[in-house]
Amino acid sequence: MGQYLPVVCLLVLAALFGALSFFASGLLAPRRPSAAKSAPYECGIVPSREPPDRFPVTFYVVAMLFIMFDIELIFIYPFAVDRRFLGSYALWEMLAFTGVFFAAFVYVVARGALDWGPVAQHRALQQQTAAANVPAVNVRVVGRDGREAEVAATEVA
């Protein structure tokens, strides 16, 4: 256990440094917001129009999925190069990682991670128009049970 004492001390010091940095920043930082400070600044160019909308979170989720694909390829490459040395354990580990990754990918796609921008706006517009054009035949009128003949007579007249 004594061999881990330097590592534990380093972790404690790192945690203390992080906590003290946040505390000192909150205590000593100047708080004088202004319009000039909150304006977007990019490469010394003063913006002439409003900044565009922010990217949706799903954009970043897809970026993380791309990185996961790269990691998966990194795992598959050694197995493809030296299959005999790594054996069946590496195969099962690779298949387990691929299965978990595929399940996460299916979940993200089912949640609509690949639908943003014009495609998402088009689908939302289609759903709104479909909801607005519900025919009256699908609406059940309550309270007319047993009065079908009376309703039919008033409709004929």
Q: What is the CATH number of the domain that holds 110?
A: 1.20.58.1610
Structural domain includes residue 48? no
DSSP letter for each residue of the chain: -GGGHHHHHHHHHHHHHHHHHHHHHHHHS-----HHHHS--BTTBPPSSPPPPPPPHHHHHHHHHHHHHHHHHHHHHHHHH-HHHHHHHHHHHHHHHHHHHHHHHHHHHHTTTT--THHHHHHHHHHHHHHHT--GGGPPPTT-TT-HHHHHHHHH-
pTM higher than 0.85:
no
Q: Is residue 12 part of a domain?
A: no
Q: For residue 126, what pLDDT is reported?
A: 74
> Does 18 fall in a domain?
no
Domains identified in the chain, total number:
1
**What pLDDT does residue 156 have?**
56
Domain residue limits at 124 = 56-130
Is 103 within a domain? Answer: yes
pLDDT tens track of the chain, all 157 residues?
Answer: 779 999 999 999 999 999 999 999 988 888 888 877 777 666 766 667 766 666 667 777 778 888 888 888 887 888 888 888 888 888 888 889 889 888 888 888 787 777 766 666 677 777 777 666 655 555 555 555 555 555 555 555 5
